[in-house]
Chains A and B, each alone.
Chain A
Amino acid sequence: MSENKVEMSAEIVQNANVQPQQNNPLSRKLNKILETRLDNDKEMLEALKALSVFFTENSLRTRRNLRGDIERRSLSINEEFARIFKDVKEELESVNEDVHAMSTCCEEMTSRLKAAKEQTQDLIVKTNKLQGENHRLEVRAQVAQAFLTKFQLSGQEMAALRGARDSPITEEFFRALTRVKQIHEDVKVLLRTNQQTAGLEIMEQMAVLQETSYEQLYRWAQNECRGLTQESCDISPVLSQAMEALQDRPVLYKYTLDEFGTARRAAVVRGFIDALTRGGPGGTPRPIEMHSHDPMRYVGDMLAWLHQATASEKEHLDALLKQVTVRGVEENMQEVVGHITEGVCRPLKVRIEQVIVAEPGAVLLYKVSNLLKFYHHTISAIIGTSVATLLITIEDMNVLSKKMFFNSLSLHASRLMDKVELPPPDLGPTSSLTQTLALLREVLASHDSSVVPLDARQADFAQVLSCILDPLLQLCTVSASNLGTADMATYMVNSLYVMKTTLALFEFTDKRLEMLEFQIEAHLDTLINEQASFVLIRAGLSYIYSCVQQHSTQQGPLSTLPGMDTSSLKAAMVQFDLPPPPLVFYDCDYSVDQSTDGSVSSTVSPAFQTAWYPNGGVLKIGAVQHSYFGTLPNFCLWIRQYKGTDPHRTEPHHSVERRHYRVFQC
């Protein structure tokens, strides 16, 4: 700083020299000094400050020495600086040395590291390789584990299967078995890959496991079933499940069902025999056999018992096989129920046969047959229409009782024919006819109230009717054979009419009724003709009648014929109008029943009326109407012309002796 000042003053001097002409140098110097801004010149300020430290005494001497002082000071400062700097330099040298050392050290380390690296290179490669290997192995382990869980049983499952040998079958067993099945199924996938050996092995293993498990299950189920020999039989859910599982092994399934069937069969037989011979507690209900004297009750109780037993057994089977899905379960069930109920067939058959063979009479036989038919129907609703021995037995018994029934009827009929009764004097039905019709009525009535459905009822109706009616008709004809024509016809009409009224009370008899009606008509015709000729002969009109009938126009007028003149005819008509002598008319009751419109018609037989009043009177009866168009009308019309009167208006005043036989005697 002091040097600066020196230079500066020199410069000022120079400036004053170089530019003398420029103003006054002094003034310039002055100006400059004046312009100098000491405040802003930091160096100057510092210099002055430093100066103020040691320049304390402003005297000439001090001013003269100032320069030296400053230089001395400067020297000592520099010396000081140099001394201190020397230290720094030494320090730096030491640092430098250290750095060098470090550098060497580092180099050494680097080379050592390099060496180490070279040495471990191999190891690292190896490690990497191993790590890769490890990873691969882990993946494989996972795969293997997955494989095992998929294709092998767990210990627990294995235990469940194995344990079945000496402990009861449980849910777990079925779960394990399902797993075995699943694995066996799944393992087929392996056969399509290159894991065929494993696949085959597992498959075989599972197959073996399955077989032993099924066999154990079968043993267990068989044992369970074997125990079901009591009347009550509750199928445990596990047993149902066992059947569901066993359906995969048809043979075992069938054997188990057989076992079940055999056990139940024994139970049902025992129950049946107990019901027959022991009855309920303390003897009520009484043993069924106590009622063996009452065939209907006896047979009915046995069949009702069997019906109930069959329904219960079907329920048991439903419970046993409710989870089985294989096709044909329904048939299986029917088969087994058939087997179960087979045992009771013999005792049942023996007893019903006894009843039938004891010949309890036609009506009872018929009722028993109907009862059997009813139960055949009822029981087959439960066990289906399969060929169950029980149904066959019932049907056989039905056939037998039906056969015995018809035998009994035929026997009855042949007895009738053996000893033909003569018609009674009143020409009404014979007592054997009434008795036989009473039997028929009883049979038909029992049929009517029978529990057999309608269509089944109709079936053997025709046979019953022909079995009774045909011989009866024959009987009537035979017994009438010795009678005169009018008596015969009357007797037949009377007999046929009782048959008709008997049949009319029942269904399915229309055809027979029609036939009887037809026969009655035929006999009525005969009767009418008989009556007509009787009246004509009695009145002496038969000659006139035949003349009229045979007359032809070539013969000229009727009145020219001999015996046909007006006076003869008039005489004859007087005869005709006269009260006739007592006539025998057989009133076959038609008029009484049907023409209720007047006192006249109600007392006169149709045959008589037709003869007497061809054009009017009571012509409401079909049978009579028929003859209206026969031979009589022509004649009567002709007579009317002659008489000039309408006989229809004339009150008949003939006293008619009538032998009135009422058909409705019952």
Chain B
Amino acid sequence: MATAPYNYSYIFKYIIIGDMGVGKSCLLHQFTEKKFMADCPHTIGVEFGTRIMEVSGQKIKLQIWDTAGQERFRAVTRSYYRGAAGALMVYDITRRSTYNHLSSWLTDARNLTNPNTVIILIGNKADLEAQRDVTYDEAKQFAEENGLLFLEASAKTGENVEDAFLEAAKKIYQNIQDGSLDLNAAESGVQHKPSAPQGGRLTSEPTPQREGCGC
């Protein structure tokens, strides 16, 4: 059968959460377009972006759902957590209140995603060092206590933006490799590329554990 070349081996679904104005949409835009959107309007509901990136030698398509931080959309955005393989939880290092709300965001994320969902904490606007309101160490400690990855980034300069998405993807990929993420289950947040395009039998797909590096 056809062994046509494919564009990627896996699709990972991500969500970006956090208070309004912390720069979630800017992070997504910087990641997908490599540009900073200085005056970005508030997100209405959810927005969507994709990018293919290479993770541990595998081409992986990231499908990213950027949620609105405004409280009135909470009910809507909660429905987007399900089936996310990765969650970027963002706060603004210049606004302490956005950091203080993290535990509420984390509760939502824990309740509404899989146990395997990789959560990365991102302190955004790292370019505004002079206005810093949350220290690196404090946030780092919070992340460690809660088993989160952590990075400070800037959607403006692009610093660490790529890494934020990459680190999470690496962790997810690692979970696939060691078998802790069950790809055959629906809504694991990861989709494996079809190995036999003709078959169309979901159940006949081999367990992908050992398959990771064969391309």
Contacts and interface: CB of A to CB of B under 8 A. Distances in A.
A296 B79 CA distance: 10
B38 interface: no
A351 to B, nearest CB: 14
Q: Chain A interface mostly helix, strand, loop or mixed?
A: helix
A630 B83 CA distance: 73
B147 interface: no
A230 B80 contact: no
Contacts of B215: none
B200 A230 contact: yes
A275 B198 contact: no
Contact of B187 (A224, A280, A374): A280
Interface residues of B, number: 52
Contact of B7 (A230, A234, A453): A234
B114 A281 contact: yes
A270 B44 CA distance: 29
Interface string B166-196: 0000000000000001100111110111101
A237 B73 CA distance: 38
Interface in A317-357: 319
Interface stretch (A60-68, A75-83, A307-315, A498-506): A307-315
A308 B2 contact: no
Interface stretch (A88-96, A297-305, A417-425, A426-434): A297-305
Interface in A517-541: none
A236 B8 CA distance: 10
A374 B76 CA distance: 9
Contacts of B76: 300, 304, 371, 374, 451
A307 to B, nearest CB: 7
B186 A271 contact: yes
Interface string A30-73: 00000000000000000000000000000000000000000000
Contacts of A315: 50
Nearest to B193: A234
B78 A227 contact: no
Contact of B191 (A231, A237, A263, A451): A231
Contact of B81 (A285, A311, A312): A285
Given A234-B6, A275-B83, A281 B185 contact: yes
B194 A285 contact: no
B32 interface: no
Nearest to B65: A308
Given A230-B200, A281-B181, A284-B113, A224 B2 contact: yes
B114 A300 contact: no
Nearest to B190: A232
B130 interface: no
Given A300-B76, A300-B79, A374-B76, A232 B200 contact: no
A236 B50 contact: no
Contact of A227 (B72, B79, B198): B198
Interface string B6-38: 111011010000000000000000000000000
A315 B48 CA distance: 11
A449 B71 CA distance: 9
B112 interface: yes
Contacts of B186: 231, 271, 274-275, 278-281
B194 A234 contact: yes
A227 B4 CA distance: 13
Given A230-B202, A234-B8, A280-B185, A451 B194 contact: no
A371 B45 CA distance: 11
A238 interface: yes
A319 B186 CA distance: 24
Given A280-B114, A280-B186, A284-B113, A449 B65 contact: no
A564 interface: no
A230 B202 CA distance: 6
A168 interface: yes
- Nearest first, the 10 closest Cβ-Cβ pairs linking A and B are A232-B191, A281-B185, A304-B79, A236-B4, A285-B82, A227-B197, A274-B186, A168-B2, A280-B187, A229-B200
25 contacts: A168-B1, A168-B2, A224-B2, A227-B200, A228-B194, A231-B191, A232-B10, A236-B2, A238-B4, A271-B186, A274-B187, A278-B186, A281-B182, A297-B75, A300-B75, A300-B78, A303-B79, A304-B76, A304-B79, A305-B79, A308-B48, A315-B50, A374-B76, A378-B46, A451-B76
Given A285-B113, A300-B75, 8 more contacts: A223-B198, A224-B2, A228-B200, A237-B5, A280-B114, A280-B188, A282-B182, A284-B113
